[in-house]
Amino acid sequence: METQTQDKLAEKFQAKIDADIKIEPNDWMPDTYRKTLIRQISQHAHSEIVGMLPEGNWITRAPSLRRKAVLLAKVQDEAGHGLYLYSATETLGVSREDTIDDLHSGKVKYSSIFNYPTLTWADIGAIGWLVDGAAIMNQVALCRTSYGPYARAMVKICKEESFHQRQGYEIMTTLMNGTEAQREMAQDAMNRFWWPALMMFGPSDAESKHTEQSMRWRIKRHTNDELRQSFVDASVPQAELIGLKIPDPNLVWNEARGHYDFGAIDWEEFWQVVGGNGPCNKERIEARVKAKEEGEWVREAAMAYAKKHKS
């Protein structure tokens, strides 16, 4: 009897998904759908928050007031995006505190790209152009995801992120129009961020354990490899236009496919970084834990003040 009702509910649920009707917080959903979303949205939220760290590293050293104001606005946006996504996660019935603790304990990951250091100012350009570019590619597709609160957060985020990529590309363009040393700096950033940016789309479709089910539930609307290909196709002409070389000897336009062919990704590096052995994993989590612990008295004081003034 019980399983019969469950089966019926599951059937109705899938029918809604197939008809492109959004799922809202209080609607019935399979446990695994809920769990998948909690994992994916919280991972996404953590990425926005941890993503502030490598860029924040350059705010005080931005080369001009204009660049500094832009970078501050961008980093503030990332904080906002993290907050939209934590709220969306909470609609699935998990507490924000627990969600954040799962990041700090390492139980839930964030995008592995943020485990790479920002060594030069050009890295800020490369991150805006390539990393935000890759994120946007992914997020535009997620605007049509089946869970309402996630889709709505994505629409807002995509609208705001469009300047992020442009400001990065502008930094790269300016450097490429500069001195020999500046061009070298830009190319060096490109060389270090290109492959990690490609890895941002996640394992290849054959290796991705979540893709098939997520596609059926329309949580994902495109596979990792499809999005990665779109990103390569979009980025190569942008690099060429300003004279940056793609650090891939196997990159070639494939007339028959209508896409660029590109070299093999070093998945060993990807799994190492995901597994905690990237250049900055430890530093990133330490910074987040420190922020939480050192801010605790402020949160407590604000709460005590609110209680005291409640008439």
Partner 1 sequence: MSTNEWPLWEVFIRSKQGLNHKHVGSLRAPDAEMALQNARDVYTRRSEGISIWVVQSALITASDPADSEAYFEPSDSKVYRHPTFYDLPDGIEHM
Residues contributing to the site for partner 1 (CB under 8 A):
24, 26-28, 73, 76-77, 80, 83-84, 87, 90, 95-98, 152-153, 156, 160, 296, 299-300, 302-303, 305-306, 309-310
3-state secondary structure labels for all residues of the chain: CHHHHHHHHHHHHHHHHHCCCCECCCCCCCHHHHHHHHHHHHHHHHHHHHCHHHHHCCHHHCCCHHHHHHHHHHHHHHHHHHHHHHHHHHCCCCCHHHHHHHHHCCCCCCCHHHHCCCCCHHHHHHHHHHHHHHHHHHHHHHCCCCEHHHHHHHHHHHHHHHHHHHHHHHHHHHHHCCCHHHHHHHHHHHHHHHHHHHHCCCCCCCCCCCHHHHHHCCCCCCCHHHHHHHHHHHHHHHHHHCCCCCCCCCCEEECCCCEEECCCCCHHHHHHHHHHHCCCHHHHHHHHHHHHHHHHHHHHHHHHHHHHCCC
CA 265-267-268 angle, to 5 degrees, is 135
Q: Between 88 and 190, whose beta carbon lies closer to partner 1?
A: 88
Q: Between 98 and 261, whose beta carbon lies closer to partner 1?
A: 98
Minimum separation from the CB atom of position 72 to partner 1 (A):
12
Distances (CA, A) of 10 to 4, 28, 97: 10, 8, 30
Minimum separation from the CB atom of position 183 to partner 1 (A):
34
Minimum separation from the CB atom of position 154 to partner 1 (A):
12
Minimum separation from the CB atom of position 67 to partner 1 (A):
19
Minimum separation from the CB atom of position 102 to partner 1 (A):
13
Q: Between 100 and 197, whose beta carbon lies closer to partner 1?
A: 100
d(CA 184, CA 173): 12
What's the half-sphere exposure (Cβ side, CA atoms, 13 Å) at 108?
Answer: 21
Q: Between 24 and 207, whose beta carbon lies closer to partner 1?
A: 24
Q: Between 31 and 180, whose beta carbon lies closer to partner 1?
A: 31
Q: Between 212 and 300, whose beta carbon lies closer to partner 1?
A: 300
Q: Between 286 and 300, whose beta carbon lies closer to partner 1?
A: 300
Minimum separation from the CB atom of position 304 to partner 1 (A):
9
Q: Between 290 and 299, whose beta carbon lies closer to partner 1?
A: 299
**Strand partners of residue 253:** 260
Minimum separation from the CB atom of position 80 to partner 1 (A):
5
Minimum separation from the CB atom of position 206 to partner 1 (A):
37
Asked if 67 contacts 128 with a C-beta cutoff of 8 angstroms, the reply is no
